Amino acid sequence: MENKESEPLDELRAFLEKRQKEAEQNPPPAPPPTPEAVSGRRRLLVLGVQLAVIFSAAVYLFLNFPYLKNDLYPPKQLRVGSYNTDRAGEACIRNLWRIAAGEPGAAKAVCPSSGQPYSVSGRTASCPSPERHGLSELYYQPRKGVVAKGAK
């Protein structure tokens, strides 16, 4: 019985000796070159690509800065002076600015004179009945602010 147990060990020993001889005859491949061994041209190419990406990102941000600035800050009230409106007209203008600023609950606001909701399309909001305020048009438009045109 000892012979049967020793045979697998002998086979394993022979297999391992064979693998060791093969490893000695075929050495492992050389390691990849170190970063110092990389040519100067390649290093300059990589640096050039990095600088090009940084430059293009900076140009993109520079060209889109006005749009980013407008999106980050709420619209400023451009109105100066009086439109010769009554108290309800002033409340209507305040509601339009609230809608433009995106305040919570402003989307459900109604015109104080007519009780009808404001018509909103995109970023433009308009009063449903400007004639009740003595105006022909009353609306908010981005980059213009609240526009109130008098009755004709």
Q: Please tell me the predicted confidence (pLDDT) of residue 80.
A: 47
DSSP-H helix ranges across the chain: 2-25, 40-72, 87-101
Q: Please tell me the predicted confidence (pLDDT) of residue 47.
A: 92
Distance between CA atoms of 59 and 71, rounded to whole angstroms?
19
User: What value does the mean pLDDT of the chain take?
Assistant: 80
Joined tokens for residue 48:
């050039």
Joined tokens for residue 152:
């004709």
Percent of the chain with pLDDT strictly greater than 70: 83
Question: Which range in 1-10, 13-22, 25-34, 92-101 is most confidently predicted, on average pLDDT?
Answer: 13-22
How far are the Cα atoms of 98, 108, 115, 143 from residue 105, in angstroms, in the given order?
Answer: 9, 6, 16, 23
Please give the span between the terminal C-alpha atoms of the chain, in angstroms, as a whole number: 119
CB 83 within 8 A of CB 94: no
Please enumerate, as own/partner, the contacts of 91-98 that have beta carbons within 8 Å and a separation of 24 or more: 92/127, 92/133, 92/138, 93/138, 93/146, 93/148, 96/125, 96/126, 96/127, 96/138, 96/139, 96/140, 96/146, 97/140, 97/146
User: With 60 as the cut, is the pLDDT of residue 81 above it?
Assistant: no
pLDDT digits (tens, 9 = 90+) for 107-134: 788 888 888 988 888 888 888 888 888 8
Q: Please tell me the predicted confidence (pLDDT) of residue 115.
A: 87
Percent of the chain with pLDDT strictly greater than 90: 12
Domain boundaries, the chain: 87-150
Beta bridge partners of 37: none
Predicted TM-score of the model (pTM): 0.46
